[in-house]
Structure 1
Amino acid sequence: MTGIAIIGRGAMGATHARALASLGRAEQIKYVVARTAGGVAEAAPGASVISDFEVVLNDPEVDVVSICTPTGTHRELAVQALRAGKNVLLEKPIALTMDDGRAICDEAQRSGKVFMVAQVVRFFDGYRQLADDVAAGKLGRLVSARATRLSSKPDWADWLRDFAEAGGMLVDFGIHDFDQMNLLLGDPVEVSATGPSLTGARNATGPVETTITYRDGGIGQVLSYADLPSGAPFRSSVEVVGTGGFAQYEYAAESPVSPAVSRYSLSAVARDSRVSLAAEDPYARQLEYFLDCVAREAEPSFCPTPSALVALEVALAATTSLELGAPVRLDSDSASDPAAADA
């Protein structure tokens, strides 16, 4: 039986624990690693709450580690877990710097273990349907895509407001949409962001408009804003235009006055469809996919590590663009994203 350790007792650690419980795997969570040992982790009541990560590394019964800690800790924790022979699910973003991200990627390759960055947006039904339709050629050649992500202030964790720990809104929040733009449009070559100055951006929550130019001529635009009034429901959307049509996905979380919304529409040559998607738990789907990859000792091709590095590269370039007030060319060649509909 797969033994699981969750590193981090905050909101995301609890989210991973609830997702595992929904899959009937709660009893497999052996440890929750927190700053303070003792007590009970609400979403994993059967787990031992410990503060010593070495216990996890040295326990042969634990073969899966889910890292849900501040981004600034990712390199150290992920590398240690991989060297100890653990399969690792690492919350996004992969790291705060490209050097740290590459170091994690290199260690994952050397280890031979299953490693995946948790880009959960890839597991939302609407985003998956859009990616599938684009890959199937239903929209022809894509020429433009636009994504929007709106949230209230991230007050559930103090570290998210610490630039040194989270990297700012574009790295922690906007990275979901940068990953989607790359998935849909290919290799990014230039990034330009407008909004507050970098000094303001270190603590700002937007709005920031980022424009990404792609090697094949496509244009991606992302609006990131995390300063809605307290209690306002989270919202995200993506729209794409191709030579053969148009598609849109819209998501809104449930609120006290409105139900959740998850709508996808496609208008293309000889096709026109609109569908409301059922309620879902993308975190559970993500954990299910990762654990299946572990069981099969298979590369997680639906969330390839190079794509996480490129998403980080775009996020860092957008942050630099705010500082310079000018576009930023990307230095590295972006790897192709072989994500397949096998989740």
Structure 2
Amino acid sequence: MQKIAIVGVGGMGTVHYHNYAQIKKADVRAVVGPSESDQKKAKKWGVKVYQDLDTLLQEETVDLVDICTPTFLHVELALKALAAGKNVIIEKPIALHQEEAERVFALASEKEALVFVGQVLHFTREVEILKEAVQSQKYGKVLDAYFTRLTAAPDWSAEGWLFEKEKSGLLPFDLHIHDLDLIVSLFGPPKSYNYQAAGRKNSKFGEHYRFNYQFDDLNVGAEAAWYNANYPFTARWRVYFEEGLLVNEDELIFYPAAGEAVRFNTEAEPKIETGINLPPTAMFYHELSHFIDCAEREVPSDRITKEQVITTAGILEEIAGL
């Protein structure tokens, strides 16, 4: 049984709480949340609430600290938890600078603790099927790939911190990180890369990016956008293999060189209410179950590795201009 403290009980902290409630080996003992809303939420959940992590660590016995705060607080909180000898889960991104990501892993190594980073796409059936196809080469080698992640600018951001580069890393760290992390996990660190950004003259951030990552014999493209437009969230990818095209749009379909298209069943259970403006899904359940299992066995994650997390942070740091 893993005794857990959740730091930050906004949207993602709420998602994590609802999923832990369904995981047998997870026991949320307390949360950190200084606002009145946080206090009410903790009371509804029936868990203790603290104003800060320092006090919680002094008064509670926990095994794992789950950090669901705004991005700019991740490193400070992770270092505190690790210094106390606790394993940590950190919502993406781990940090806005490669050096900071390395510091977190270095302290974890020193304290013989574990760091898990919440890149949740690895726990969707679509990505599991893609990774298996790439690794097994069941459709031959990958010849080309393209990833798209587009949405309206996040005007819902509490106090607008997502629009402050030093706090969020802006679009590259908020949005493109999902696809870059997946690209790195599939193909390793790119040999080189380039990108272009576009946007209105009065915008304080790049609103639309195009990326190109070069590997030994492969180019991978990507797009990401925070549009000044009421455009629905859209995430798609296509991967071209020697023997056909695997496309993830509204459904996952493989189009072979000859014969009928193959449609995959990507439904996963259990679908758990998130408590936020996100439909019930199984991906957080499988992600957090994996982290809990790794913590129980005292082993790092084999799905989200230290190397891919640090590589991704370094590339995004340069793209975001931090």
Task: Give the TM-score taking structure 2 as reference length.
Answer: 0.86
Match of 1:95 in 2: 95
Give the aligned partner of residue 160 of structure 1: 162
List aligned pairs for 1:70-219, cutoff 5 A.
Answer: 70-154=70-154, 155-157=156-158, 158-196=160-198, 202-204=204-206, 206-214=207-215, 216-219=216-219
**Superposed counterparts of 1:43-82, under 5 Å:** 45-59=45-59, 61-82=61-82
Runs of 4+ in 1 over 6 A off after TM superposition: 197-201
Matching residue of 2:32? 33
1:128 Cα offset (Å): 1.3
> Equivalent residue for 2:267?
278
> 1:211 offset after TM fit, Å?
1.0
* Deviation of 1:189 (Å): 2.1
Take 2:119 and 2:63, find their aligned partners in 1: how far apart are those partners? 21
Identify the match of residue 253 of structure 2 among 265, 285, 300: 265
Deviation string 1:261-283 (CA, Å, 9 cap, x unpaired) is 4x212234688521242254211
Which letter maps to 2:41? A
Q: Which letter does structure 2 place at the counterpart of 1:235?
A: T
Aligned to 2:320: 319
Q: CA deviation at 1:135?
A: 0.8
Q: CA deviation at 1:162?
A: 1.6
Following superposition, the deviation at residue 53 of structure 1 comes to: 0.9
Aligned-residue offset at 1:25? 6.7
* Partner in structure 1 of residue 236 of structure 2: 237
Deviations, residues 207-259 of structure 1 (Å, cap 9, x unaligned)? 21111112x221111110123755x5422111111233321222xxxxxxxxx
Could you say which residue in structure 1 is the equivalent of 2:20? 20
User: Any conservation in 1 of the 2:31–2:42 contact (CA below 8 Å)?
Assistant: no
Instruction: Indicate the residue corresponding to 1:289 in structure 2.
Output: 290
Asked whether the equivalents of residues 120 and 286 of structure 1 are also in contact (C-alpha less than 8 Å), the reply is yes
Q: Deviations over 1:94-135 (max 9, x none)?
A: 101111111111112222122111111111110111111111
Inter-CA distance 33–292: structure 2 relative to 1 (3 Å threshold)? same
For the structure 1 residues 85 and 295, does the alpha-carbon distance in structure 2 shift closer, same or farther, using more than 3 Å as the test? same
Q: In structure 1, how many angstroms separate the alpha carbons of the residues matched to 2:43 and 2:141?
A: 45
Contact residue 30 and residue 46 of structure 1 kept, 8 A: no
CA distance in 1, matches of 2:18, 2:228: 26
CA distance in 1, matches of 2:102, 2:25: 31
* Unmatched segments (≥5 aa) in structure 2: 269-280
1-structure distance, mates of 2:237, 2:95: 25
Contact 1:118 1:286 in 2 (8 A): yes
Equivalent pairs counted in the alignment come to 306
Stretch moving more, 14-23 or 142-151: 14-23
Any gaps of 5 or more consecutive residues in structure 1?
251-260, 324-343
SS, match of residue 264 in structure 2: strand
Compared with structure 1, are the counterparts of its residues 77 and 224 closer, same or farther at alpha carbon in structure 2 (3 Å cutoff)?
same
Paired AA for residue 170 in structure 1 = P
Instruction: Note the C-alpha offset of 1:187.
Output: 2.3
Secondary structure, aligned partner of 1:14: helix
Greater relative contact order (CA < 8 Å, ≥ 6 in sequence): 2
The one-letter amino acid of 2:253's match is S
Specify whether residues 245 and 185 from structure 1 end up closer, same or farther in structure 2 by C-alpha distance, changes over 3 A only.
farther
Tell me the secondary structure at the aligned position of residue 299 of structure 1: coil
Distance in 1 between residues matched to 2:296 and 2:313, nearest whole Å: 28
- Aligned partners of 1:312 and 1:195: how far apart in 2? 19
C-alpha root-mean-square deviation of aligned residues, in Å? Answer: 2.6
C-alpha separation in 2, matches of 1:150 and 1:95: 22
* Matched-pair identity in %: 27
Does the residue aligned with 1:182 lie in a helix, a strand or coil?
Answer: helix
Name the CA distance, whole Å, in 2 between partners of 1:156 and 1:41. 19
Amino acid at match of 2:146: R
Change (3 A) 1:47 1:79: same
Structure 1 position 40, deviation (Å):
2.5
The alpha-carbon deviation at position 200 of structure 1 amounts to 6.7
Q: Distance in 2 between matches of 1:198 and 1:184?
A: 34
SS at match of 1:102: helix
Task: Report the TM-score, using the length of structure 1 for normalisation.
Answer: 0.81
Cα displacement (A) at 1:52? 2.0
State the Cα deviation string for residues 71-97 of structure 1 (Å, max 9, x = none). Answer: 222221111111111111111111011
- Residues in 1 aligned to 2:43 and 2:212: alpha-carbon distance in whole angstroms: 39
User: Does structure 2 conserve the Cα–Cα contact (< 8 Å) formed by 1:41 and 1:47?
Assistant: no
2:277 matched to which residue of 1?
none
